Amino acid sequence: QGLSVLVGLALCVTMLGLGCAVELGQLGQQLRRPVGLLLALLGQFVAMPLLAFLLALIFALDEVAAVAVLLCGCCPGGNLSNLMSVLVDGDMNLSIIMTASSTLLALFLMPLCLWVYSRHWINTALVRLLPLGAVSLTLGSTLLPIGLGVLIRYRHPRAADLLVKISLWSLLVTLVILFILTGTMLGPDLMAHIPASVYAIAVLMPLAGYALGYGLATVFKMPPHCRRTVSLETGCQNVQLCTAILKLTFPPELIGSMYMFPLLYALFQSAEAGLFVLVYKMYGRDSYKQDTLGEEEDTDISYKKLKEEEVADTSYGTVTTEEHNSIQMEPTQTAL
């Protein structure tokens, strides 16, 4: 029960921080040109659920492990992507809009994706008991802290900035606490019962998500910093939401050790995103700076050309300004 309370509080704090990061002006701009909304739809509710389904088939998972993997694959984007986007000089407005829009779309599309992709295991007891209503209820409960966060951003921007930082740190701390507590409660024997295929999927799924997101942004011909943002947004899932749904809606005797899958996914998605950031800091940042300097040099050159064009031809005379704003023409001698 204490673990359930911790999961619920962590989810509320995360959603509150997400709401505090949304500005109504930016939201209006994105709705007028809904590229971020379209990318969130394609990445989180087309690419990732299909990827989870294919991995579950390829590794021949049983119904319990398959439901855990599908649930994680159908979740919206998580706040970890916002933090990582800052570290790779990504487009923060795009990152926040994609996270927020995928969270709102999840209210309708997440139960639909679960229903569609669980058909392969429909003859099993767990899938027949799949609590789509409870999933929708849990998703609906996240709208309240998101709405409260948007209101705080609108009325108290400084307090909203502080809450965003608190939510990001609480995200990291909560995941560590959940991993330690759950591992201690389940014990090493039960941890050993998690199939090797599940560990393999926890490694491959975020990595493939990052690659799919980058490819999706490339198809849309987005600039490099937006490609990095979309890549992180696609691969980073809201594991707090996945953990909350598994914990609050499924009987523990049915879900068993698969409760650990979203925590394993969180561990590997963080590690792989950290490698992404490290590689960018070592190799990609120099090219980013050169592109920025190149833009500045082009601006200086165009400015100099403009100034040269503005210089008047003074071969026949010069204009001088004296006191009292009087203007005199001083003739100059012209060689014949």
Distance of alpha carbon 45 from alpha carbon 110, whole angstroms: 7
DSSP 83-103: HHHHHTT--HHHHHHHHHHHH
- Check residue 240 and give its pLDDT: 78
Pick the residue with more confidence: 171 or 215? 215
In the chain, what percentage of residues exceed pLDDT 90?
A: 17
Amino acid at 306: L
Q: Which two tokens stand for residue 329?
A: 């023409």
According to DSSP, residue 237 is labeled B
Q: What's the pLDDT band for 322 if we cut at 50, 70, 90?
A: very low
Choose among 96, 80, 119, 81: nearest CA to 21: 96
pLDDT of 251 strictly over 70: yes
CA angle, 264 then 132 then 194, to 5°: 25
Pick the residue with more confidence: 37 or 319? 37
**CATH 1.10.730.10 fits domain 1-283:** no
- Check residue 300 and give its pLDDT: 42
- pLDDT tens, position by position, 62-120: 888 898 999 999 998 877 787 788 788 888 778 888 888 888 888 888 888 988 898 88
Domain boundaries, the chain: 1-283
Amino acid at 312: A
Distance of alpha carbon 97 from alpha carbon 94, whole angstroms: 5
Helix locations, 156-284, DSSP H: 157-192, 196-219, 224-235, 239-249, 252-255, 261-279
